[in-house]
Amino acid sequence: MSAEVLNYLDMKKNGIYLDCTLGSGGHLQIMLERCPEIKIIAFDQDQEAIKRCQQNPFFASKKITFINDNFVNFPHYLTELNISQADGFLFDLGVSSEQLNDASRGFSYRQEAPLDMRMSTESTHSTLTAQKIINNCSCQKLTEIFREYGEEKKAKKIAWRICQVRKKEKITTTQQLVSIVVSCFSQKSKKHPARRVFQALRIAVNQELINLSRGLENALQKLKNDGRIVVISYHSLEDRIVKQIFKKYSELGYYQILTKKPLTPAGEEIVINHRARSAKMRVITRQK
């Protein structure tokens, strides 16, 4: 949705913009190609993402500040940089393709890996892993996690089965967990049975929904007049939070939602990038 992102950000020459989810730097690059004079503060809690972009020759001469931290902490860095407000914020949520493809991270239910799922593997950022949740949380707590963060209908059954298995052996790998989850389903489905459990664990490990709420609230308060916030979400839990917060602020009278309905990618983009099929984009602007 690159064209839509550029169109709705409506970047101003010498403006200040925050790329809150740097990832591979795709959005960062198209923003700078469109408007090279802008200053960008780019956040990612994954140190590998920061390193890759810092080593990209395209970014070498640009006005970019790379910050290895979760976007929820951006107000602290704006204060350090003596910046009171920004012209725009971009949030492209969820796990990146690089993280999914890196088997060692434990995000994918299709590859064998340790049950980690941390967006940041730096111990200074977080030591909570999916393995710790699976092996230490009560059956009731696991049920709540799978139900609330994964919208999994078989949450209770899956949690019970996990608790039975871990009495005999520690659950340490993705495929151990996949095997347990699959055993709770009697019929084959079009989508992988473990997808909701993995989503729930990833959200719990990284506190994604809490951070999204706080990050959006902070962004709305730090947005300049005529500035814009663009959010791309990938599942209903994220989209619901974005919709509710945008609605709350639009009712204050000096914010306006620019997307009455969320924008979705064109068919051609879905063919090229299968992950984009579930993307929804919402945009809000500050009027005064």
- Token pair belonging to 31: 């923003």
The answer on 166 and 219 residing in a single domain is no
The CATH number that applies at residue 6 is: 3.40.50.150
Please say which residue of 176, 206, 236 terminates a domain: 206
Domain that holds residue 270: 2-98+208-286
- The whole-number mean pLDDT for each consecutive block of 10 residues of the chain, a chain of 288 residues, reads 94 96 94 96 94 93 94 98 98 87 90 94 77 98 98 98 98 98 88 95 97 98 98 96 98 95 83 75 94
Q: Are residues 30 and 80 in the same domain?
A: yes
Whether residues 35 and 112 fall in one domain: no
In angstroms, the CA 276 to CA 256 distance is 26
Q: Are residues 17 and 92 in the same domain?
A: yes
Is there a single domain that holds both residue 189 and residue 224? no
Select from 184, 206, 228 the last residue of a domain.
Answer: 206
Quick check: 31 and 19 in contact, CB under 8 A?
A: yes
Q: What pLDDT score does 103 carry?
A: 83
Distance CA 236, CA 279 (A): 10
**Whole-number Å distance between alpha carbons of 257 and 241:** 14
DSSP result, the chain:
-HHHHHHHH---TT-EEEES--TTSHHHHHHHHH-TT-EEEEE-S-HHHHHHHHT-GGGTTS-EEEE-S-GGGHHHHHHHTT---EEEEEEE-S--HHHHH-GGG---TTS--BS---S---TTT----HHHHHHHS-HHHHHHHHHHHH--TTHHHHHHHHHHHHTTS---BHHHHHHHHHTT-SS--SS-TTHHHHHHHHHHHHTHHHHHHHHHHHHHHHEEEEEEEEEEE-SHHHHHHHHHHHHHHHTTSSEEES-SS-B---HHHHHH-GGGGG-EEEEEEE--
In one-letter notation, the amino acid at residue 147 is R
Q: Kindly list the strands in the beta sheet with 223-233, ordered across the sheet, starting from the edge strand earlier in the chain.
A: 64-67, 39-43, 16-19, 86-92, 223-233, 280-286, 255-257
Pair (188, 212) in one structural domain? no
Please name which of 106, 88, 105, 98 lies closest in space to residue 50, comparing C-alpha atoms: 98
Same domain, 151 and 279: no
- Residues 239, 162 share a domain: no
Residue 120: per-residue pLDDT: 86
- The CATH number of the domain holding residue 201 is 1.10.150.170
Global confidence as pTM: 0.93
Is residue 242 within 8 Å of residue 234, measured between CB atoms?
Answer: no
Both tokens assigned to 186:
């009697």
Does residue 95 contact residue 199 with C-beta atoms inside 8 Å?
A: no
141 shares a domain with 270: no
Q: Which of 181, 206, 231 is the C-terminal boundary of a domain?
A: 206
Cα 259 to Cα 46: distance, rounded to the nearest angstrom: 30
Number of domains in the chain: 2
Asked if 249 and 274 sit in the same domain, the reply is yes
- Residue 153's CB: how many other CB atoms inside 10 A? 11
